[in-house]
């Protein structure tokens, strides 16, 4: 990790302060390329103008309108489920900063389309939690394989064993893992 830190420089993470939008963008980006996700995000933002992405603005949309910007039927349903939970107060994003990581994960995974990985990304990139280790993240696993000279992608146990010394800063180490994938040796 010392070499990666030297190449990447200081840890710099800009938090996504709009928590609802961060979750919307996470759902949009699931299982599609970054380019496709960016195009759909851009179309949704344009469709909603002059309004911003919010529970109120998404709640006014029908599944068909969400599909018209490129969302699958399933992802449209996921966004509407998130929207409903936020709008009716069952999911209070403003209170999450005071919750423990496990409580945040539990609350978010109640939403259709949000799994543990998405909840972990929310903890890191929206709440700024410093000790989250997303062991299922493909980028982190690839980086661990590369950095630690493994023949194949590490499983959960191997990943956790390698990441144990990173505690209580596993999020920062994960960020450096992602950055390491940008470097050509």
Measured distance CA(149)–CA(137) in Å, rounded? 18
| 137 annotated active-site | yes
- Residues whose CB is less than 8 angstroms from the CB of residue 53 and which lie 6 or more positions away in sequence, other chains included: 18, 20, 21, 24, 44, 45
Nearest Cα to Cα of residue 130 among 181, 177, 173: 173
Other Cβ atoms less than 10 A from the Cβ of 150: the count is 13
Nearest Cα to Cα of residue 93 among 77, 104, 81: 104
Active-site entry in 3, 101, 136, 137: 137
The answer to whether 156 touches 135, Cβ cutoff 8 Å, is yes
Active site residues: 137
């Amino acid at each position: 990790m010392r070499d990666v830190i030297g190449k990447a420089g200081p840890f710099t993470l800009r938090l996504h302060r709009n928590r609802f939008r961060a979750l919307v963008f996470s759902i949009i980006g699931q299982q599609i390329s970054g380019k496709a996700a960016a195009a759909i995000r851009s179309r949704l933002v344009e469709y909603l103008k002059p309004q911003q992405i919010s529970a109120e603005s998404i709640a006014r949309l029908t599944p068909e309108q969400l599909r018209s910007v490129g969302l699958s039927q399933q992802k449209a349903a996921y966004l509407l489920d998130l929207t409903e939970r936020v709008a009716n107060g069952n999911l209070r994003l403003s209170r999450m900063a005071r919750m423990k990581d496990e409580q945040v994960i539990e609350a978010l995974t109640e939403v259709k389309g949000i799994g543990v990985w998405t909840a972990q990304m929310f903890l890191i990139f929206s709440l700024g939690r410093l000790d989250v280790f997303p062991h299922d993240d493909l980028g982190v696993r690839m980086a661990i394989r590369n950095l630690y000279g493994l023949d194949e992608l590490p499983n959960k146990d191997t990943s956790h064993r390698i990441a144990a010394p990173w505690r209580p800063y596993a999020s920062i180490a994960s960020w450096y893992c992602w950055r390491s994938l940008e470097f050509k040796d």
